[in-house]
């Protein structure tokens, strides 16, 4: 069973324009309409996964160039809202047309770098173990987060997101520190490849009939990212009470990541259904019923004894005969 989280005193404001004070401000409108009401230089972190133009239920598929043009307007508006020391994290995968793959980060990079003059600090690979199986190319198992900063003195705190060292007992073998422990006692840098599961799949996979009912984070939203993915960004790139903005909030995962760590948050989604999901998830956090994976919990490694990790009996005979291929 996953842990429950509670933050009783959250001041949730529902408004189509920016008004302060708030702990979390949510809007059910077009993103540009809300963004235009937000003052300059208030947000410490802007983080989102924009629509990928894949024709999901919430988007009309546009010509690829038109899609990028619309995104550009939103990113420019977000740039205005970002503080000089702020960070901008854009989480994207691929746009696919007639079987051809267009890696969105490549297209977005040009815009952030050459139009806005922002500086890339990391291209984080978010690797996950599950997903659809492709038949005409290799199955996609990662997406990326482009992390840009506006200026060189950007906010970055490594300590809150360090992970346990693999070999904490390692010692210096030469020099002044010979014989002393060589690892950082606070843990190591988590690197730019993040193994964060898409759902709480590892906790439920072993109980297949109950996957759905056991699923603590998954909502009806088709492209939700895990709260844990964003917690790492929030903890390393903002201060307490700093504002985190998600211009495409979906089911509100970014906002929850911010609120869980005493940051303030602003989010907007044009779809009433997703707006309502966000609102009820924030209420779950307020009344102590929000379940999610603990930050930094290792991904489950099968022991080989679980039924689902064993070869089905029907295949064993064919394997022996070498006829399965
Ligand atoms: C990829 S999803 C974001 C999912 C989110 N990261 C989560 O974890 O739930 C993109 C969202 O953008 C919203 N959206 C698309 N175009 C929009 C627009 N012009 N204004 C506001 N929201 C928009 C969609 O309804 C969708 O929920």
Number of domains in the chain: 1
Quick: pLDDT tens for 231-288: 999 999 999 999 999 999 999 999 999 999 999 999 999 999 999 999 999 999 999 9
Cβ contact 152:120 at 8 Å: no
pLDDT for position 276: 97
294 pLDDT band, cuts 50/70/90, is confident
pLDDT for position 90: 98
Q: For residue 226, which atom of ligand 1 is closest to its CA?
A: 8
Mean pLDDT of 160-179: 92
pLDDT for position 295: 80
* Gap from CA of 325 to ligand 1 centroid (Å): 43
* Residue 308 to residue 58: CA distance in whole angstroms: 35
pLDDT for position 54: 74
* Gap from CA of 160 to ligand 1 centroid (Å): 29
CA separation, residue 186 to residues 67, 159, 161, 179, 243 (Å): 44, 7, 10, 19, 27
Mean pLDDT of 93-113: 93
pLDDT at 58 over 80: no
Kindly report the average pLDDT of the chain as a whole number.
Answer: 88
Quick: pLDDT tens for 186-232: 999 999 999 876 554 444 443 332 223 344 677 777 788 889 899 99
Cβ contact 226:52 at 8 Å: no
324 pLDDT band, cuts 50/70/90, is low
Q: Is the pLDDT higher at 68 or at 294?
A: 68
pLDDT for position 195: 86
Angle at 51 between CA 45 and CA 56, to 5 degrees: 150
3 pLDDT band, cuts 50/70/90, is confident
pLDDT for position 79: 98
pLDDT at 116 over 50: yes
pLDDT at 127 over 80: yes
pLDDT at 96 over 80: yes
Cβ contact 10:259 at 8 Å: yes
Tokens of 105: 């980060």
pLDDT for position 310: 80
Q: Taking the model in full, what pTM does it have? A: 0.90
* Gap from CA of 248 to ligand 1 centroid (Å): 4
Quick: pLDDT tens for 11-52: 999 999 999 999 999 999 999 999 999 999 999 999 999 997
User: What proportion of the chain, given as a percentage, has pLDDT over 70?
Assistant: 91
Cβ contact 58:305 at 8 Å: no
pLDDT for position 104: 95
Q: For residue 70, which atom of ligand 1 is closest to its CA?
A: 19
Give, using CA atoms, the residue closest to atom 4 of ligand 1: 250
pLDDT for position 48: 98
Mean pLDDT of 62-67: 86
Residue 300's domain comprises 4-321
CATH of residue 198 = 3.40.50.150
Mean pLDDT of 158-182: 93
**Residues with beta carbon inside 6 Å of ligand 1?**
30-31, 49, 51, 58-59, 221, 223-225, 248, 250-251, 253, 268-271, 274
pLDDT for position 197: 67
pLDDT at 158 over 90: yes
């Amino acid at each position: 069973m996953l842990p429950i989280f509670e933050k009783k005193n959250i001041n949730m404001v529902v408004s189509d324009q920016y008004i302060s004070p708030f702990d979390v401000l949510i809007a059910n409108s077009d993103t540009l309409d809300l963004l235009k009401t937000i003052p300059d230089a208030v947000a410490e972190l802007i983080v989102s996964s924009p629509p990928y133009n894949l024709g999901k239920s919430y988007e009309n598929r546009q010509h690829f160039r038109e899609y990028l043009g619309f995104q550009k307007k939103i990113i420019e508006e977000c740039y205005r809202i970002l503080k000089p020391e702020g960070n901008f994290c854009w989480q994207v995968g691929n746009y696919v047309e007639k079987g051809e793959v267009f890696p969105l980060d490549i297209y977005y990079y040009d815009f952030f770098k050459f139009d806005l003059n922002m500086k890339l600090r990391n291209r984080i690979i978010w690797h996950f173990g599950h997903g659809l199986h492709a038949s005409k190319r290799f199955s996609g198992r990662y997406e990326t987060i482009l992390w840009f900063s506006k200026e060189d003195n950007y906010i970055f705190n490594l300590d809150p997101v360090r992970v346990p060292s693999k070999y904490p007992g390692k010692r210096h073998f030469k020099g002044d520190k010979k014989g002393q422990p060589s690892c950082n006692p606070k843990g190591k840098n988590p690197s730019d490849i993040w193994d964060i599961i898409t759902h709480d799949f590892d906790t439920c996979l072993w109980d297949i009939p109950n996957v759905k009912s056991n699923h603590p984070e998954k909502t009806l939203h088709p492209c939700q990212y895990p709260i844990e993915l964003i917690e790492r960004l929030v903890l390393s790139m903002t201060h307490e009470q700093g504002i985190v903005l998600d211009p495409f909030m979906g089911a509100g995962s970014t906002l929850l990541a911010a609120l869980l760590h005493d940051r303030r948050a602003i989010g907007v989604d044009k779809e009433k259904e997703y707006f309502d999901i966000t609102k009820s998830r924030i209420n779950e956090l307020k009344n102590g019923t929000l379940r999610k994976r603990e930050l930094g919990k290792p991904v489950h490694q099968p022991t080989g004894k679980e039924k689902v990790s064993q070869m089905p009996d029907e295949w064993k005979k064919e394997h022996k005969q070498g006829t399965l291929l």
